[in-house]
Copies of this chain bind each other. A is one copy, B any other.
Amino acid sequence: MELLKEKIEAEGRVLSEAVLKVDSFLNHQIDPVLMQEIGREFAQLFKNEGVTKVLTLESSGIAPSVMTALELKVPVVFARKRKSLTLTDDLITTTVYSFTKQESNEISVSKKYLQKEDRILIIDDFLANGQAALGLVGMVEKAGADIAGIGIVIEKAFQDGGKKLRELGYRVESLAEIKSLSNGKVTFLEKAVEELTK
C-alpha cells in the first residue's frame, strides 16, 4: 500500500535494527484518514472471505480494525490486556509475551463475542515474532470459530511471525512489509518487482 509506505518513510523513526517507531500516525497519535484508507484496503482484500467479525488487541489495533469493520459492515471485538471488573462474563483467555515491552500479558475476550459460527478476520498493527497474532489465533480456535484471514498494517518480514502464520495455513495480508531496518533505514520488501523478475 503506497500511501502507507510513504507515511512510514516520511515519519517512521528507526530506533534500532528491530524497532520502528510509528507513533505519529498509528501507535500513539493516529491519522484517521490513513486509517480509513487502511480499512478500505483490508476490506477489499478480504471481501470474499465471508468475514462476520474483526478481532484485534487493544490499543493500537483498534483504529485500523474499526475502519475495516465499517467497510465490511461487521462488528469489531478487541481483546483486553487486563480483566475489568465490569467484564464479569465467561472469558476466553491466553497469555502473550511482548518482546517490545518485555512482559507477559493475559489477554481475554468475552465468550459471548466469539461464537463458533463466526468467521474472524484478525487485524493488528504490527507483526514481528507473531506472539500477539498467535495469541489471537488461539482464542479463535478455543471458541471453535474459523479464521477468515489475518490483516497486518506493518510486517517486520525479517522476523519470523509471518512465516509461522503462513506455514499454519492462514492467509496473511500485510500492507507494508519491511525487509530490514539496518543502518537506520527502512527497506521494504518489493513483492511486485520480485514477481515481475521471476
User: A residues bordering B, Cβ < 8 Å?
Assistant: 15, 19, 21, 23-25, 27-33, 35-36, 58-59, 62-63, 66-67, 69-70, 73-78, 80, 84-88, 100-102, 109-110, 112-113
**7 shortest A-B CB distances, which residue pairs?**
A32-B70, A58-B59, A32-B69, A30-B76, A62-B62, A29-B77, A59-B59
Per assembly, the copies of the chain total: 2
- Known A59-B58, A67-B66; judge A86-B31 contact (CB<8 A): no
Please give 13 more A-B residue pairs, beta carbons under 8 A apart, in addition to A59-B78, A66-B67. Answer: A19-B86, A24-B113, A28-B80, A28-B87, A28-B109, A30-B75, A30-B77, A32-B67, A32-B74, A33-B70, A62-B66, A85-B101, A85-B102
Inter-subunit contact A76/B29 (CB<8 Å)? yes
Q: Which chain B residues border A75 with CB–CB below 8 Å?
A: 25, 29-32
Q: Which of A15, A84, A88, A112 has the most CB of B within 10 A?
A: A84
A115 to chain B, nearest CB (A): 11
| Distance A158 CA – B112 CA, assembled complex (angstroms) | 30
Assess A30 versus B66: contact at CB under 8 Å? Given A23-B110, A86-B23, A101-B85. yes
A76 CA to B86 CA, complexed, in Å: 26
Contact of A62 among B25, B59, B77, B88 (CB under 8 A): B59
Q: A36 to chain B: closest CB distance in Å?
A: 6
Which residues from B are CB-within-8-Å of A102? 85
Chain B residues, CB < 8 A from A24: 112-113
Please, which residues of chain B bring their CB within 8 A of the CB of A88? 15
B30 touches A86 (CB 8 A): no
Q: Are A29 and B100 in contact (CB under 8 A)?
A: no
Please judge, given known A-B contacts A28-B78, A110-B28, whether A33 and B73 are in contact too, CB under 8 Å: yes
- A19 — which chain B residues lie within 8 A by C-beta? 86
Q: Which residue of B lies closest to A39 (CB)?
A: B32
